[in-house]
Amino acid sequence: MERNCTSDGFFFAVKEVSLLDQGGKGKQSIYQLEQEISLLSQLEHENIVRYYGTNKDDSKLYIFLELVTKGSLLSLYQKYHLQESQASVYTKQILNGLKYLHEQNVVHRDIKCANILVDVHGSVKIADFGLAKATKLNDVKSCRGTPFWMAPEVVNWKNEGYGLATDIWSLGCTVLEMLTRRPPYSHLEGATKLNDVKSFKGTLRWMAPEVFNQKNEGYGLAVNIWSLGCTVLEMLTCRPPYSNMEDGQVISKIYRSEPPDVPDSFSSDARDFILKCLQVNPSDRPTAGELLDHPFVKRPSGPQSPRTSGIQP
């Protein structure tokens, strides 16, 4: 990703992809970018990275996107310790973006801190739509997402499918990630990197269990709710979900529909929000709209509102 500007001083980001023959892997990357372009061109929301257009020459495709200068929530919590009040404001904005996506019947399938960008004003933008899919509920059939953020219904091979609630699970993992500063299940992390397994489209530790379901008939928006829970956990712990486990243990844990551990040190509101996102049954997870009424994200914004210039290491 590079930055550029127009002759009148307007800055934007440029994503470049080679169009030269790169074999099957290269063709898959181009396909995912085309999918991302198709979706982004139809979306317009303040908490979703904005798409400006494309251009190409004989060797490259250029995608012009909104320039978001402060990097991702992952890079932010690696530098600074996020307070619950700051993670709360970020989470509310992520929910606003997810609510809009779900109203368009779009499931993101890879919600995690690395895919949430922060601008200079502290506003967040959901990015990386290469794995997202416009879908009717429960019609997504492939195993896509980042494995450790996957919801149980994605992993559970005996399930009949999964839906929009998968994004909510991943959100829970993301909040956990923010608050612990570690990915979900990070205590199991080892040398084997199952996050790189190509049969999973996304990131393992944030995946809803239903994503692993090989007998499923599809999944939907609930996968994003699981991932959101993992992401909130990530923000508050500053670690990925399941960060104390090796990858193989994480696969087994998600397959058994066991969510990542949520520290007792969190406030009751933060714990309750994450645990609601991490309901094993997708139909038991709240929608993004319902979660906007949760006390964790309805806290009044005060002087600790997360402006990147004011966050303390």
Read off the amino acid at residue 26.
Answer: G
Q: How many CB atoms lie within 10 A of CB 46?
A: 12
Q: Are 223 and 280 in contact (CB under 8 A)?
A: no
60-65 and 227-238 strand pairing:
unpaired
Active site residue 58: no
Q: Give the count of alpha carbons within 13 A of 196, CB side only.
A: 3
Read off the amino acid at residue 272.
Answer: D
Q: Are 72 and 115 in contact (CB under 8 A)?
A: yes
Q: Of the residues 110, 167, 247, 261, which is catalytic?
A: 110
**Residue at token pair 């991932």:** 227
Question: How far is residue 67's CA from residue 52's CA, in Å, rounded to a whole number?
Answer: 10
Query: What's the angle, vertex CA 113, arms to CA 227 and CA 294, rounded to 5?
Result: 55
Instruction: Name the residues annotated as catalytic.
Output: 110
